[in-house]
Structure 1
Amino acid sequence: MIVELGHFALTLALAVALFQAAVPLYGAGRGWVDWMRAAAPAALVQFLLVGIAFAALTHAFVTSDFSLRIVYENSHSLKPALYKFTGTWGNHEGSMLLWVLILALFGGLVAAFGRRLPLGLKARTLSVQAMIAVAFLAFTIFTSNPFERLPQIPLNGRDLNPLLQDIGLAIHPPFLYLGYVGLSMAFSFAVAALIEGRVDATWARWVRPWTLAAWVALTFGIALGSYWAYYELGWGGWWFWDPVENASFMPWLLATALLHSAIVVEKRSSLKVWTILLAILAFSLSLIGTFLVRSGVITSVHAFANDPDRGVFILGILGVAIIGSLTLFAIRAPAMRSEGVFQPVSREAALVFNNLVLAVACAVVFVGTLGPLFREFIDGEKISVGAPFYELAFTPFMVILLLALPVGAMLAWKRASLGAVLARLWWAGAAALAIGGAVWALQEGGALLAPVGIALAAWLILGALTELWERGGFARTGFGGGLRRLAGLPRADWGKWIAHAGLALSAMGIAALTAWETEDIRLAKPGDRIPIGPYVLEFAGVESLPLGAPFAIGQCGNEGERAFKGTEARNFRTEMGRFRLMDGDTQVALMCPEKRDYPVQRMPTTEAAIDSTLARDVYVVLGDRQTDGESWAVRSYHKPLAAWIWLGCLVMGAGGLMSLSDRRFRVGTVAGRPRGKAVAAE
């Protein structure tokens, strides 16, 4: 009964979305207030109905209702309860329902908290959002129905992909979808503005918080996915430039550019055309990512292997959304004019430069990701684009961006003196060069990657501190007066500084790990000692744990399993290695990498053991037992400053949350504030 209720609610949500897409939009065109006001309650009802459908599917997974096809194909009665829950979106059909739920969530949030939005803009925005919902609800119901019943109820299921049976799956996809799908809100605002023919400071002020919310979620989602791959796949890397990884990274780059360009629209009434285009392209790249994951055109651990017919349906959605929005953009863009004028050296020009660097960097990733697919389509030849391409083509733009950020942040609006800004930053530049030189000396020459990366990180942080010093007026008011002035600054400014500091921390971690990582691969027997970095690993042996043994057995646990699952029975067999990490005669940690075998899926997995501090990670992977019955393949890594990569991402996200808490973003524009001069005819 609950399953049928969920199916009915999903079908009814499609009907409500059709109403929401048509009625308010027509009402806005005719100036009918009551029809425009229908958008908000329709959006809320649509979210409620999709929420009921998602709750029904979750109930089916948690209770192991194997009468549903996707529960049978993606769950098992022995699977831990946490993974029964997360299995709801660990498959194509369930993940599409999560996609639609988040799409409806953003529409519902605008309906609930957009009371100060101009009625016409609100109605058109929610109508465009509903059009996207119609497309994906139809796709879900007609090609990917999560409520399909089996003619005969099996006794048990086929289990979830063992690689996805991890705590990372519980939080990584929802955050990633909040970012991916959240960019639909910026897209809807952009298309609504094009339909209305009006882009002004009010519009920009409303676009920024929704884009910022999506950017924060996407930042967390990408970081969580990177860390999941780092410890779960056992290959020792943190980023593979996998097409699906890139599919989430490209919208992040354009969303970052969009956040900065919207500032110029709000403050100076410039970059209107460019900002609208960024909003369209950012969500378009999210749709392209959805196509890559679900079309079967690529093979990836992140991808859902589905039939091409579904890919064609998504390709149709992609074509209508992109071609339709860009056609509307081409019609309306010539009528838009920038009202603010600025000099080549100014804050506005710096933000334009920031946008260009991010856009070109995104284009590089786009070419590397989709280029092989286009080449294979054109002449059938398969080519591979790997990390060397991205390191050569992408890295220089990030270096340029890091160099420019402190300077651009201190330029005045409209007109500025570059020489004056550089004079105020000279000590930060000198200190950063000194830090880079000290690092180069300590590593006794060699490659410049780590010294340059650390120097750039120092430049970014010291530049932010210089701006803080000047904004606080410490030189004039003293320490106490400066602190009081800083405490009164808008939270959006603090968020900017925190986010830039997070970018610096990630850059430092990436440079240090790439330059200084050491690796050891060998066959080892119990009792062997393996030098790794400044430590020694003592191989103490391997323990076999049977199917059904509790997670809390023994002295070791991986990835927080003991904390999350207590004494639940294991749904796998495991060979658990034991390595003592020694610093001289002192044991630093007991490390227990595993080789797991999931009998239902008949699939082995590797579970790395990681001992992490702020200074380094020690990473150990247990390979296969050798034919002599005693030796095991062992890979170990010493990874300096690895934790700073993800710490920096968390700090960036925290900066975004700080900005999002700014009262200006929570309240929006004041009711009745003039909309400004129209930029195109109604």
Structure 2
Amino acid sequence: MLIRIFPELGHFALILAFAMAVLQAVVPLWGAATRRPLWMAFAQPMAWGQFTFLILSYLSLTASFALDDFSVAYVANNSNSLLPWYYKLSAVWGSHEGSVLLWVLILSGWSFAVSVFSRHLPRDMLARVLGVMGWISSGFLLFILLTSNPFERLLPDVPADGADLNPLLQDFGLIVHPPMLYMGYVGFSVVFAFAMAALLGGRLDSAWTRWARPWTNVAWAFLTVGIALGSWWAYYELGWGGWWFWDPVENASLLPWLAGTALIHSLAVTEKRGTFKNWTVLLAIFTFSLSLLGTFLVRSGVLTSVHAFANDPSRGTFILVLLGVTVGLSLAIFALRAPKVQSLAGFGWLSRDSLLLINNILLVVMTVTVLLGTIYPLLLDGLGLGKISVGPPYFNALFVPLTALLCLFMGLGPLARWKRMPGRELARRLAVSAIVAVVTAAVLPLFYGGSFSLGVTLGWLLALWLVLSLVRDVFDKTRHGRSDKARKGRTRLAGFRKLTLAYWGMVLGHLGLAVTIVGVAMVSHYNVERNVRLAPGGSVDVGGYQFAMTGLRERRGPNYTADTATIEVTRPGRSSFTMQPEKRFYVASGMPLSDVALRPGLFGDLYVALGEKLDNGDWSLRIQLKPFVRWLWLGALMMAAGGILAVIDRRYRRAPRRSAALQTHEPMPSRLVPPSPTEVTS
């Protein structure tokens, strides 16, 4: 039968992709080292070929799921004939083997994008960048072929049906969250490759940072959206209404995000002022290493988490070795090359340079704080020294004060000048913003909650400080000193037009952080939660709302049965509405799952989860009121949009200027051409 061909086709395509990845890793780097143009030009066709064969392999696995080919062990363990088609397609990355295949496919996609959109780079620079990415691909493809083959057969004992996909993963969140998160994880491999290429070529000038900045921003934006989607998915899927629990797997995605945020700002300083060169390279290594660490934590089996949907203890050693080799080699190259780099530019203690450096240090300290809280219990357990639990109290006690300091300096940064600035001038520009922020933050909790709340006041103070400092910066950049009002208005409009998209991206990103901070403060302090018993015909009052169970019925889904409660919700002076939480039972796996009913709103959610059936016909219900919870994800989307807005700035759509040291190197040709006799001789 035709469907039996797909696993072999996909496996063969994987082998060919691995061969091309090895060639991409070896030939271009050797060509750059020996200055052979034809060998350097080898990088592009190998990147394209690897991407093509990985697409073929991935589509072959997808076809096996779509056609219910249960002779493939991975399909039999993660699918079922009753599973809806859209979950069959997302089940491809629903467990270990398929998720790693998606990881490598996305990595090859980034390599393909670099080869297409970076043709203006010097020939040897592009060869080194693609060569480094080829080494990373080779390691992960070897990992798949040796330990995680998704095309392994169950012949001749083919099961009649599959074991089904984990019910927790039968959700829209699985369709969008992992691909978006992997795009961010893997995207940081590009800036890592640029940093390694700059080190190998001895070109730690400002040019490489300009080439790497757009790729870094895009990867950071993807990771921001991926984290927000994961938070939103956990919020409504797990039945407890939590948006962040400091789970180790959650922390695994936060770590590269924090380091990547520091990297974005450090790249900007290096490009603008030529400073922080070594620090920027170190951050690039650190950020990608944390992405690999996150992959290790999720894939190795060292963690037991509701988020760790793909793990296998037998494969952790391979990933750990890959992580060690990557970090070790990159740090060794950095140690050899970095001491030769000098920065001639200086700056005063009060300047935008110093404020960005302080923010970088704070972000790194926050990263190390989360890293220690995540790794330390695992180290103790692994060394047989006992088990400890590090939870929200530790992270909140350290993370919140560091975030407050970070926001303080973030508010100062946009208004400060490069090199140096008088303290009095900066204080004068920020005085009004500081007074308005303090007064407004102290009054707002009185209007909303009726009493003073230190946590809410601090959240609003930090958010208003960020917003008002940005407003003052925009005002200063667009104002004009002439007295003619009409001319002043025209001049201010012209000033707005002169502001770059990169600047507006910075503004939108900082505003997004302010919105997220407000959401965190409000939902953390004003959340209302009650666990109640309710029978059909009964009602209960929670947070000014009346919840009445008006009906209870059974229904059958495509691969589950469900008890569905009808809850009538009323509030004095407002119209009523209906919510329908469910308790589902998945037939193939035998697992129960609560399907939450949500009433979303910009200023708050109503959240009802149906629990277990109790005696006397009662049911347990968890009812929650979540004020401003949507602001968490709205702020994250604003931050991601700010990163994308900075990328589409016209400066990054032009071919970058090359430094004098690079003028002798020709750009990479758009297609592979035979070398001239002169090139062969050289």
TM-score when normalising by structure 2: 0.94
Q: Give me the whole-angstrom Cα distance separating, in 1, the residues matched to 2:176 and 2:52.
A: 22
- Segments of 4+ moved more than 6 angstroms: none
Q: 2:596 aligns with which of 594, 600, 608?
A: 608
Aligned pairs for 1:433-512 within 5 A: 433-442=438-447, 443-473=449-479, 476=482, 478-512=488-522
- Backbone CA RMSD of aligned residues: 1.7
| Structure 1 residue 157 corresponds to structure 2 residue 144 | no
> Secondary structure in 1 aligned to 2:623?
strand
Q: Describe the SS at the equivalent of 1:199.
A: coil
Rounded Cα–Cα distance in structure 2 between residues aligned with 1:304 and 1:529: 38
Correspondence 1:256-267 to 2 at 5 A: 256-267=261-272
**Which aligned pairs between 1:87-126 and structure 2 lie closer than 5 A?**
87-126=91-130
User: How many Å separate the matches in 1 of 2:555 and 2:442?
Assistant: 51
- Residues 1:650 and 2:658 aligned together: no
What is aligned with 1:427?
432
Gaps of 5+ in 1: 547-568
CA distance change for structure 1 residues 77 and 150 in 2, over 3 Å: closer, same or farther? same
* Identity level (%): 44
Measure, in 2, the Cα distance between the counterparts of 1:2 and 1:642: 45
Q: Distance in 2 between matches of 1:624 and 1:137?
A: 45
Query: Which residue of structure 1 aligns with residue 648 of structure 2?
Result: 661
3-state DSSP class of the match of 2:383? helix
In structure 2, how many angstroms separate the alpha carbons of the residues matched to 1:12 and 1:258? 35
Shift of 1:674: 5.7
- 1:134-173 alpha-carbon deviations (Å, 9 max, x no partner): 0000001111011112203322111100000000111100
Q: 2:300 aligns with which of 292, 295, 315?
A: 295
- In the other structure, the counterpart of 1:135 is 139
Aligned residues: 655
Question: How big is the shift at 1:530?
Answer: 2.1
- For residues 338 and 298 of structure 1, the distance between their equivalents in structure 2, rounded to whole angstroms, comes to 43
What is the Cα deviation at residue 102 of structure 1?
Answer: 0.7
Note the alpha carbon deviations across 1:276-315, whole angstroms, 9 max, x for none. 0000010101111111111111101121454433100111
Partner of 2:676: none
| 2:327 match | 322
Distance, in Å, in 2 between the alignment partners of 1:183 and 1:41 is 22
Structure 2 CA distance for partners of 1:446 and 1:585, relative to 1, 3 Å: closer
Given that 1:411 and 1:418 are in contact with CA atoms closer than 8 Å, whether structure 2 keeps it comes out as no
Aligned-partner SS, 2:495: helix
Structure 2 partner of 1:541: 551
Task: Determine which of 45, 59, 62 is the counterpart of 1:58.
Answer: 62
Distance 1:626 1:425 in 2: 59
Change (3 A) 1:671 1:55: farther
Deviations 1:642-682 (A, max 9, x none): 1111111111111111111112223340468764999xxxx
Between the aligned partners of 2:345 and 2:467, the Cα distance in structure 1 is: 31
Q: Secondary structure at the match of 2:615?
A: coil
Amino acid at match of 1:143: T
> For the structure 1 residues 522 and 475, does the alpha-carbon distance in structure 2 shift closer, same or farther, using more than 3 Å as the test?
farther
SS at match of 2:21: helix
Change (3 A) 1:304 1:612: closer
Measured after TM superposition, the shift of residue 22 of structure 1 is: 0.6
Q: Are 1:407 and 2:394 matched, yes or no?
A: no
Change (3 A) 1:304 1:425: same
Write the distance in 2 (CA, Å) between the matches of 1:73 and 1:379: 33
Amino acid at match of 2:603: A
**Which residue is equivalent to 1:566?**
none
| Shift, 1:447, TM fit | 2.9
Partner of 2:559: 571
Aligned partners of 2:397, 2:481: CA distance in 1, in Å? 43
Instruction: For residues 341-379 of structure 1, give each alpha carbon's deviation from its aligned partner in whole angstroms, at most 9, with x where no partner exists.
Output: 111111111110110010000010001100101122234
Contact 2:195–2:284 (CA under 8 A) maintained in structure 1: yes
Letter in 1 for 2:17: A
State how 1:10-21 maps to structure 2 within 5 Å: 10-21=14-25
When structure 1 is superposed on structure 2, of 437-446 and 575-584 the one drifting more is: 437-446
When normalised by structure 1's length, the TM-score is: 0.94
1:147 aligns with 151
Paired amino acid for 1:649: A
Q: Is the 8 A contact 1:202 1:675 kept in 2?
A: no
Task: Pick from 162, 179, 188 the counterpart of residue 184 of structure 2.
Answer: 179
1:541 Cα deviation after fit: 2.8
1:81 and 2:66 matched = no
The answer (yes or no) to whether the contact 2:95–2:311 under 8 Å persists in 1 is no
Q: Classify 1:406/1:585 alpha carbon distance in 2 versus 1 (closer, same or farther; 3 Å).
A: closer
Residue of structure 1 aligned with 2:542, choices 528, 532, 537: 532
Say whether the 8 Å CA contact 2:94–2:310 is kept in structure 1. Answer: no
Deviates more, 1:6-15 or 1:296-305: 296-305
Residue 338 of structure 1 aligns to a residue whose secondary structure is: coil
Are 2:346 and 1:336 equivalent residues in the alignment? no
Aligned match of 2:208: 203
Residue equivalent to 1:556 = none
- Residue 44 (structure 1) shift: 1.2
Shift in alpha-carbon separation, 1:231–1:673, aligned structure 2, 3 A: farther
**Equivalent residue number for residue 627 of structure 2:** 640
Amino acid at match of 2:345: G
Separation in 2, partners of 1:623, 1:77: 28
Q: CA separation in 2, counterparts of 1:360 and 1:494?
A: 28
Q: Quote the offset at 1:382 in angstroms.
A: 0.3
Partners of 1:374 and 1:541 lie apart in 2 by 51
